[in-house]
Structure formats: structure tokens, C-alpha cells
């Protein structure tokens, strides 16, 4: 193979947003390993170590050649000592002993299973593992008090851990489009997240909703989810009110009106999910259960549960929202880091700002609606993700 250390060859950027990264890449054996090590670090709340393995995975995904010897990695950024050691192990032995050990460990397996429940984060899962729980099934028998979100997570565990296909994502998009258009003609619904990047499968469906007439989108989320609920499609939702993108926006988290929801997708993609069932009017109280023990699942039931993120944004922020919600996580993280470190600017899903300076003037309606003009001198500097 050709030498990679040619000084003529352009250097690989340390920013993911400056690297061309194909969906299908040539170093899956290594990125699978770094994914496991990243997860395992995150499970012990070692964010720094987790991030290092995520960055390593990201740069390996962008390489236009399959790594076959350590010299191939000369000049490749974002690979720390630990990552290089793992790669070397895999090159020599076909597998990494450390990764194999993690995959076998009871703690990793239990954390993986429990954080796989919608609504369960690392802290909660860690507490449960220390109490001896291992699987979502254990949660039911142990009599632990679950949040409404976790209850839905356990009920639909099988479905939510079964990848969403592109066809299913499109079908969900159609259901939401139909609902949105019946409420607010002219509104636009855009599929974002992994599917917008061309992925064939994902863990959820991300939909960004706006209307070309600024302000028309206000109040849409509540009407939309009520409509979906009345059709028997809304199995669960948690609404994040945000400020609708109208308040003070800083930091990496966005402030759009948003619903983390679970929708019911009927048998044939695109087919109506059927009439609302009697007594099934409020989300989260659905009668049918997808058991976490295995006999559940979509097969034979005629429908499946799908995680859906519904995000409403004002048209003036649509470009930034679309950019921010397309991902990947690593691309977004580095795009913000690039803005901050290389351009002294601040980027989030609402806009691009000069740092330490007056905020770019918002559209006129914002001034009358939000806080006094004082907020315009708000410093928008924030640490990168």
C-alpha cells in the first residue's frame, strides 16, 4: 500500500467537521472496539476518557484506507496512547483483550442493558447495578419505583431497542406531516438526525418542524401532540418547554419546544394506525404491553413503538436548527469547538454569535417579547460540548 507519511499529503484535521466521513468505512473492527471502550468509560462517568475514545473512533471512520499496520497511523490526530495500544492489539491478535474483557464483564453488560431503558441514565443504572439488578426484567420484579418515562421505557423495551428502519422513519414522517398540515397548512417537517445523514437504521426518528411565516409555529407542539394522542398514536411524551427559541440562548443545549415521544407505528409503513382504542386517550396509559422479557416485540402485534423527537423552531433559526439536529454528535461537537477556537465565535442550534460581544440582533419580534434590552449584551461565551 502507498506510504501515508508523505509530507505532500494533506494533514488530517483534528476537527471532525473538516473531515470527509463516509457512512460505510473501512475500519469497523477498530471503531467497534473504541465504541465499547467509550461506553465503558461513560458508564463509570469518566467523561474525558469516553470523549477520547469517541474522538479516536471518529478519526478512524474518516480514513480512506483500512489500517493494516501501525505505520499507517503516522500523523493521524486524535489517537491517544491507549487507543493506539488497542489498535496494535487488534492488528496483532485479531481482537483486543481489554475490549473482550469489558464485553464479558457483568457490570458492563448490566449497565448496557439498564441504560438501554428509555429514561434511565448512567447514575440511575449505576445505583441499580450496585443494588444487584441486571436486566430491565429485574426492575419489574424488584418493585422499584419508576418514573413515568422509565415505565414507558420498560414497557416498550424490545421495540425501542430494535433499530428503526428508513422505511419506518419515512412512515413516521408521513404521519407527523399529515397531523401538522391539518393543524397548520404550509408548515414544514424535515427528517433530521442519522437518517438525514443517509443512515439505513437509527435508534429514533428526529423531526424538525417550522413554518415560513415567523411566529406561526408558536403553540404548534401542543396542538400536534394532542392531535396524535386523539388518533391513538401517542404512546408517551415528555415535553420540554424551552423558550421556543425566543429567550436567552447560550450553552450547548438548545431551547426549542420539543417533545421526546414514543409513537405507535401501524403494520404497513404509511398506513393509518387504526381508530383510537376506547380508554386509550392519554399517553402513557396504554393497555397493550411490549414485555421486556422477550415475548413482546412488534411481531404478531400489528404495530411497534418508535422513539420520536419532535422539535419546533422559528423559521429565522431553521438553518441553525437543521445543522444542529443533523449530527453526528462528534461532528456537532467539533463544529462548535471550531467556531469557538478557530473563529472566536459561538455556535448553537439557534445561531452563530460573536463571542464576548453584543449578540447578533434578533428579529424585531424578539425584542418586544423577551427580556429587556439588557439581555442583548449577554455574553454568549460557553464551553464547547
Q: Which residues bind Mn ion (CB under 5 A)?
A: 193-194, 202-204, 206, 309
Instruction: Tell me if 334 contacts ligand TTP by CB under 6 A.
Output: no
Whether 254 is catalytic is no
Q: Could you tell which of Mn ion, ligand TTP, none binds residue 329, using a CB distance below 5 to 8 A set by kind?
A: ligand TTP
Give dist(CA 27, CA 374) in Å, integer. Answer: 51
206 binds ligand TTP, rule: CB under 6 A = yes
204 binds ligand TTP (CB under 6 A): yes
Half-sphere exposure of 172 (CA within 13 A, CB side): 30
Residue nearest to Mn ion (CB): 193
Q: What residues contact residue 252 under an 8 Å CB cut-off, 6+ apart?
A: 336, 348, 382, 384, 385
Tell me the angle at which helices 28-43 and 122-130 cross, rounded to the nearest 10 degrees: 70
DSSP string, 289-301: ---TTTT-SSTTT
CA–CA distance, 368 with 370 (Å, rounded to integer): 6
Q: How far is the CB of 206 from ligand TTP (least distance, A)?
A: 5
| Known catalytic membership, residue 204 | yes
173 binds, among ligand TTP, Mn ion, none (CB under 5 to 8 A by kind): none
For helices 81-93 and 97-104, angle between their N-to-C axes, nearest 10 degrees: 90
Q: Does 158 contact ligand TTP by CB under 6 A?
A: no
The distance of closest approach from Cβ of residue 4 to ligand TTP in the complex, given in angstroms and rounded to an integer, is 29
Asked if 121 interacts with ligand TTP (CB under 6 A), we say: no
Shortest CB 122 distance to ligand TTP, Å: 15
Nearer to Mn ion, 193 or 232 (CB): 193
Burial 74-98 (b: 16+ CB within 10 A, else e): eebebbeeebeebbebbbeeeebeb
Q: Does 259 bind ligand TTP (CB under 6 A)?
A: no
- Cα–Cα distance, 372 to 334 (Å, whole number): 33
Closer residue to ligand TTP (CB): 199 or 248: 199
Q: d(Cα 53, Cα 330) in Å, to the nearest integer?
A: 11
CB of 329 to Mn ion, least distance (A): 8
- Choice among 72, 126, 159, 204 that is catalytic: 204
Nearer to ligand TTP, 231 or 331 (CB): 331
Residues in the chain: 385
Say if residues 204 and 189 touch (Cβ distance below 8 Å): no
Instruction: Let me know if 123 is exposed, middle or buried by CB neighbors in 10 A (0-12, 13-18, 19+).
Output: exposed
Work out how close the CB of 335 gets to Mn ion at its nearest, in angstroms, rounded to a whole number.
17
Q: Rounded to the nearest 10 degrees, how much is the dihedral formed by the CA atoms of 21, 66, 60, 18?
A: -40
Question: Is 24 part of the annotated catalytic residue set?
Answer: no
Q: How far is the CB of 195 from ligand TTP (least distance, A)?
A: 7
Instruction: Specify the residue, 84 or 203, whose C-beta has the smaller distance to ligand TTP.
Output: 203
* Under rule CB under 6 A, residue 349 binds ligand TTP: yes
Q: Which of 134, 327, 345, 367 binds ligand TTP (CB under 6 A)?
A: 327
Whether cis (ω within 30° of 0) applies to the bond prior to 328 is yes
Write the Ramachandran bin of 242: left for phi over 0, alpha for psi from -120 to 50, otherwise beta: left
Residue nearest to ligand TTP (CB): 327
Which range touches ligand TTP (CB under 6 A), out of 14-22, 145-153, 191-199, 335-343? 191-199
**Catalytic residue from among 126, 206, 229, 334:** 206
**Active-site residue list:** 204, 206, 309
Which residues of the chain form contacts with ligand TTP (CB under 6 A)? Answer: 193-194, 199, 202-204, 206, 254, 324-325, 327-329, 332, 349
Amino acid at each position: 500500500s502507498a506510504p501515508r507519511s508523505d509530507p505532500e499529503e494533506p494533514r488530517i484535521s483534528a476537527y471532525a467537521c473538516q473531515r470527509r466521513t463516509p457512512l460505510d468505512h473501512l475500519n469497523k473492527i477498530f471503531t467497534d472496539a473504541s465504541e465499547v471502550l467509550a461506553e465503558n468509560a461513560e458508564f463509570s462517568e469518566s467523561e474525558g476518557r469516553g470523549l477520547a475514545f469517541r474522538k479516536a473512533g471518529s478519526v478512524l471512520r474518516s480514513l480512506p484506507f483500512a489500517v493494516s499496520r501501525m505505520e499507517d497511523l503516522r500523523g493521524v490526530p486524535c489517537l491517544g496512547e491507549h487507543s493506539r495500544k488497542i489498535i496494535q492489539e487488534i492488528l496483532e491478535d485479531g481482537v483486543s483483550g481489554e475490549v473482550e474483557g469489558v464485553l464479558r464483564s457483568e457490570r458492563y453488560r448490566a449497565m448496557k442493558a439498564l441504560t438501554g431503558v428509555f429514561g434511565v441514565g448512567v447514575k440511575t443504572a449505576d445505583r441499580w447495578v450496585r443494588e444487584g439488578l441486571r436486566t430491565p426484567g429485574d426492575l419489574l420484579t424488584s418493585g422499584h419505583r419508576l418514573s413515568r418515562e422509565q415505565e414507558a421505557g420498560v414497557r416498550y423495551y424490545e421495540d425501542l431497542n430494535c433499530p428503526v428502519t428508513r422505511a419506518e422513519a419515512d412512515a413516521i414522517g408521513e404521519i407527523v406531516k399529515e397531523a401538522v398540515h391539518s393543524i397548520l397548512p404550509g408548515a414544514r417537517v424535515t427528517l433530521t438526525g442519522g437518517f438525514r445523514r443517509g443512515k439505513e437504521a437509527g435508534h429514533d426518528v428526529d423531526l424538525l418542524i417550522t413554518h415560513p411565516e415567523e411566529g406561526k409555529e408558536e403553540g404548534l407542539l401542543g396542538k400536534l401532540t394532542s392531535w396524535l394522542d386523539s388518533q391513538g398514536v401517542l404512546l408517551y411524551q415528555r415535553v420540554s418547554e424551552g423558550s421556543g427559541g425566543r429567550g436567552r440562548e447560550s450553552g450547548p443545549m438548545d431551547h426549542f419546544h420539543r417533545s421526546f415521544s414514543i409513537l405507535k407505528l401501524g403494520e404497513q409503513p404509511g398506513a393509518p394506525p387504526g381508530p383510537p382504542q376506547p380508554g386509550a386517550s392519554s399517553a402513557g396509559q396504554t393497555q397493550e404491553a411490549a414485555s421486556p422479557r422477550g415475548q413482546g416485540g412488534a411481531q404478531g402485534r400489528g404495530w411497534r413503538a418508535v422513539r420520536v423527537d419532535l422539535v419546533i423552531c422559528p423559521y429565522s433559526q431553521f438553518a441553525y436548527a437543521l445543522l444542529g439536529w443533523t449530527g453526528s454528535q462528534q461532528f456537532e461537537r467539533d463544529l462548535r469547538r471550531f467556531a469557538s477556537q478557530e473563529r472566536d465565535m459561538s455556535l448553537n442550534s439557534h445561531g452563530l454569535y460573536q463571542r464576548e460581544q453584543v449578540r447578533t440582533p434578533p428579529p424585531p419580534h424578539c425584542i418586544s417579547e423577551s427580556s429587556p434590552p439588557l439581555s442583548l449584551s449577554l455574553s454568549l461565551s460557553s464551553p464547547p460540548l
